[in-house]
Copies of this chain bind each other. A is one copy, B any other.
C-alpha cells in the first residue's frame, strides 16, 4: 500500500500531531523523521497520502492532520512503547500483597489506570461463571420479595432481588434456602440448577420446590451478566477534549452502564484500539484502547481507557496491557 518512506512520513506526521495538536507542515516532518530528503519531496508524499485519505488539510495553506484512516494505519503499524521503570514498579506495587474487597480493587484499578495513562479508565469486572458457590442465603424482604445472597469460592458476593409468584411462609423459605444451599455447595450455579430440577418431587413440598426453582432461575439468569462496570478518572475529560459539547457527550456515555460496556466489550484477546468510526457513537472524536485480563480460574474481564483520537497510543497500549496483566494476576491468586 505505502512504500517505506511514505509510511515513515505518515508516522512522523501522526506523532508530531499527537505531540503538538497543530497541523503539521512538511518542514516539521522533515525534522522529526530525519529522512534525508527535501521538504518538497515530503510535500509530494503528503499529496499522495491525502489522495489515499490518510491525511487532510484544515484549509489550503495549512499543514496536514491525520484522518481516522490515518490513525488506523498508524496504530496498526506502531510498535509498543517501553514503560519507564518507575511506571512499571508503580503497577507492580499496586497489585502486590494488598487484599481488598473485589469491588474496591476494581474501582481503585480505574484510579491507577487513569493516573498512569492520563485518560479516563474503564474496568469490567471478572465474570462469576465457572466459580463454585461457597455460601448461599435467602433473606425475606417484603411479602413475596426475597434477597438471595451468594458468596463465591473466591469471596465474591452477589445479591439478587427475586420476586416470587407466591408469598412463602418463613419455614418454606428456610427449607428452600436449605435446599438451594445444599445444591449449590461447591457447585457452579448452572450445575446446581440441574440438581434442583432433578429433585424427587414427592419428597419435598411443592411450594418449597417452586420457591427454590424461582430463585434458582433468577440466579442463573444473572449469572455471568453481573460483570460490574467501573469508571474512573473522568476529571481528565475536561483537559482532553477542551470542548464542552464533547465533554458532555462523553460524560453521557460514561454515565450509562450499557454504553460503557459497548465501548470496550470486544472479543479480542490482545490489546486493541477502536476509533470513532468503528464505534457506534456518532460524531465524537473518540478512541478506546482496551485489553483483556485473565483472572485464571476465576474468569476474566476487560480494562481500557478512552481519549481523543489524538492520543499517545504507543504508551497507552502498553500501560493498559500491563495493568491488565497485573489485575489478572492479582485476581488469579
Contacts and interface: CB of A to CB of B under 8 A. Distances in A.
Interface string A132-176: 001101010110010101010011010111010000000000000
B239 A248 contact: yes
A211 to B, nearest CB: 16
A99 B163 contact: yes
Q: Which of A135, A137, A147, A238 has the most CB of B within 10 A?
A: A238
A155 B137 CA distance: 11
Interface residues of A, number: 38
B255 A232 contact: yes
Contacts of A134: 139
Interface string A99-117: 1110100000000000000
A142 B97 CA distance: 10
Given A101-B147, A134-B139, A242 B239 contact: no
B157 A99 contact: no
The A interface, classified by DSSP as helix, strand, loop or mixed, is: mixed
A157 B149 contact: yes
A99 B159 CA distance: 13
A99 B141 contact: yes
Contacts of A333: 142
A130 B255 CA distance: 33
Contacts of A161: 99-101
A255 B114 CA distance: 12
| Smallest CB-CB A-B distances: 3 pairs | A238-B248, A235-B251, A235-B252
B151 A149 contact: yes
Contacts of A245: 238
Nearest to A138: B135
A139 B155 contact: yes
Given A99-B141, A251-B237, A157 B157 contact: yes
